[in-house]
Amino acid sequence: MLIKMEDILIWNGTIWTLDDPEIICNGWLTAAGGVITAVGQGEPPVYLQAETVIDAKGHILMPGLVDCHTHLMEYATAEIHHTQGQAQEMAAISNLLTALQAGIVATGEHHLGHLVLSMPMAQYKKIRDMLPMASAIAYGCCWLGFEPKVLTSATWPGRSETRDTLTDRDYELMAEASEFPGENIFMNYTCANVPLAAAPNAGTVTYEESQLRHIIELFHKKGKKIGAHIEGDEAARRFLACGGDVIHHGHGISPETGAIMAKQKIPLVLTPAAGTSKRPTSPEEALAFYRQGIFLALASDSYIYPHPQADWISLPKDRLSGPADFLKVSGPVLRYFVENGVKKSDALRLITVNPRQLLHPEEGCAVLKPGCPADMILCSRLPAIETESLEDILLVITRGQIQVDRQI
Residue 386: give its domain's CATH number: 2.30.40.10
Instruction: Let me know whether 257 and 305 are in one domain.
Output: yes
C-alpha torsion sign, points 336, 340, 344, 347: negative
As a whole number of angstroms, the distance between CA 331 and CA 228 comes to: 25
Model pLDDT for residues 216-239, shown as the tens digit of each residue: 999 999 999 999 999 999 999 999
Which residue segment(s) compose the domain that 8 sits in?
Answer: 4-63+366-405
CB contact at 8 A, 103 and 64: yes
Boundary of a domain, candidates 321, 338, 358: 358
Residues 58 and 140 reside in one and the same domain: no
Shared domain for 297 and 374, answered yes or no, is no
Q: Are residues 29 and 8 in the same domain?
A: yes
Give the pTM: 0.97
Q: 138-142, 158-162, 343-347: lowest mean pLDDT where?
A: 158-162
Considering the domain architecture, whether residues 327 and 398 belong to the same structural domain is answered as: no
Number of domains in the chain: 2
Residues 11 and 138 in one domain: no
CATH number at residue 231: 3.20.20.140
Question: What is d(CA 116, CA 127) in angstroms, rounded to the nearest whole number?
Answer: 19
Beta strands in 264-375 (DSSP E): 268-270, 296-298
| Residue 308 near residue 318, CB atoms below 8 Å | no
Same domain as 138, residue 248: yes
Compute the average pLDDT of residues 38-67: 96
- Predicted confidence (pLDDT) at residue 265 exceeds the cutoff of 60: yes
Considering the chain, what is the average pLDDT of its residues?
96
Higher pLDDT, 362 or 404: 404
Which range, of 145-149, 181-185, 263-267, averages the lowest pLDDT? Answer: 145-149
Are 306 and 399 within one domain?
no
Same domain, 43 and 74: no
